[in-house]
Amino acid sequence: MDSIVREKIVTAANYDPLPVVLHEAKGVWASDRAGKRYLDMMSAYSAVSLGHGHPRILAAMADQAARLAVTSRAYHTELLGPFLETLVSLTGLEMALPMNTGAEAVETAIKAARRWGYRVKNISKDRAQIIVAENNFHGRTTTIVGFSSDPSYRDDFGPYDGGFRSVPFGDAQAVAEAITPETCAVLIEPIQGEAGIVVPPDGYLRDLRAVCDRHNVLLILDEVQSGLGRTGRWFAYQHDGILPDGLILGKALGGGVYPVSAFVATREVMAVFTPGSHGSTFGGNALAARIGSEALAIIADENLVERSAALGQYMKDRLRGIRSNFVTDVRGKGLWVGVEVDPAVVSARLVCDALLAEGILSKDTHGTVLRFAPPLTITREEIDWGMERVERVFGRALH
C-alpha cells in the first residue's frame, strides 16, 4: 500500500503534508525511497537547526542512551546542572526549568507569571492578566489556543479559562494602554513565526522592556523558533540589546533528534516554584540534558550564529532579487525568511508544491507566506543551488 494512503487511513487529519515520503536525511539534504534529493528549507520549524543527523549529536545520544536515559526528576544526575548552567549563562538570566516541548515551556511560563503576580505583585486571587499579541502562535494546548486570534486554532476547543488580553503585534503603545493593576506579564514572540515571519518595527522590544519596567510587569519572550541562532544572534532579543524576565526555548535545543525545551528566567520569577508545584516526568532527563548541552556546544563551536547572520542576509538578498508576478514582500532576520505571495494570483501552497517538484522542501502558512528556514549548517553553495530552483518557480506563471 502507498505510504501516503496508509498514513491517511490511520492518522488524524490535523496536518496537510506535502505529497512526499521522506526516507533518509543528512545535513541539509533529505531523500525519498527512490533516491530523489531535496534541500530542506524548513528544518522542522527550527528543530533541525543543526542539520539532520549531526555526528556529534548522534554520538552523544548513543553514548548517553546506553549509560543513563530517563530516571525522572525524583533523583539527581550529573548532567542537568551543567546543561542549565550553560543555558543561563548564554541567556544572561539566572535559573531554568527544563521541559520537553515548546508548548510545555509556554505553559510553564504562564504558571510562573501568574504565581509571581499573586505572590510578588500582590494581584488579587485568580485575577492575573497576561497581555499577548494578535496573530500569535505559542502552541496547541487548550490554554494557549484560548488566546489565539486564529479561528482555525481555537474553534470548538473551548471553554477557555481567560486571563489574556490581545493587542496588535509591534505596537508597544497598545501594550502600555492595555496594562492594568492586574497585569502580571507580557508574552510575545520577538518575531512571529507561524504568522508568516512577521518582523516588528526596530526598537519594539526596547519599548516593551521600558513599558514593563514602568508598570512592574514581566516581559516573557517565546523564542522557541527564533532562538539559538536562527535570527543571526543567539536570541532575537539581543538585536534590541535588552534582557527579558523570562525566556522560552525549545526546538533546536534538542539537536534535531529529541524533544528538549526550557523556561529560563530571573531568580525572582523562578522562586515561585516549590516542590510539587510543577513537574514533568521526562523534562530534564539525563539524555535530554546531554543532547541539549551538545547542541549548545555545536552552535558555539561551528559559529552557527555568525553563519546565520551572514548567510541569512545573502539568502534574503537573493530572494529579493528574483522577479516574480506573485511575490509581494520578502522579510526576516538571519536564516529565517518569509516570502509573501499575492493570493489573488496564486496560493502559497501551490508554490510549495512547485518547489517540491524542483527539490525544495518549504511550507506555506495561512495560504499567503512561504517560509525559508534551512539548517544553520547550510553553505553558500547549497543556498545558491536552492535559489536557482526558487527563481525558476517564481518566474513561472503559476495558477
In whole angstroms, give the CA distance from residue 47 to residue 375.
9
Buried b (16+ CB within 10 A) or exposed e, 307-331: bbbebbbebbebbeebebebbeebb
Strands 363-365 and 369-372: antiparallel
Do residues 40 and 28 touch, judged by C-beta distance below 8 A? yes
Cα–Cα dist 332/173, whole Å:
23
Closest CA to 300 of 262, 247, 252, 256: 252
Question: Beta partners for 337?
Answer: 332, 372
First-to-final CA distance of the chain: 31
Report CA Rg, the chain: 21
Using N-to-C axis directions, what is the helix angle for 80-91 and 286-301, rounded to 10°?
40
Q: Bridge partners of 96?
A: 264
Cα–Cα dist 392/399, whole Å: 15
Phi then psi for 30, rounded to 5 degrees? -125, 160
Which residues have a catalytic role annotated? 137, 222, 251
- The answer to whether the beta carbons of residues 337 and 319 sit under 8 Å apart is yes
CA-CA distance, 295 to 192, in Å (whole number)? 24
3-state helix, strand, coil in the chain (%, to 5): 40, 20, 45
Q: Supply 216's cell numbers.
A: 512592574
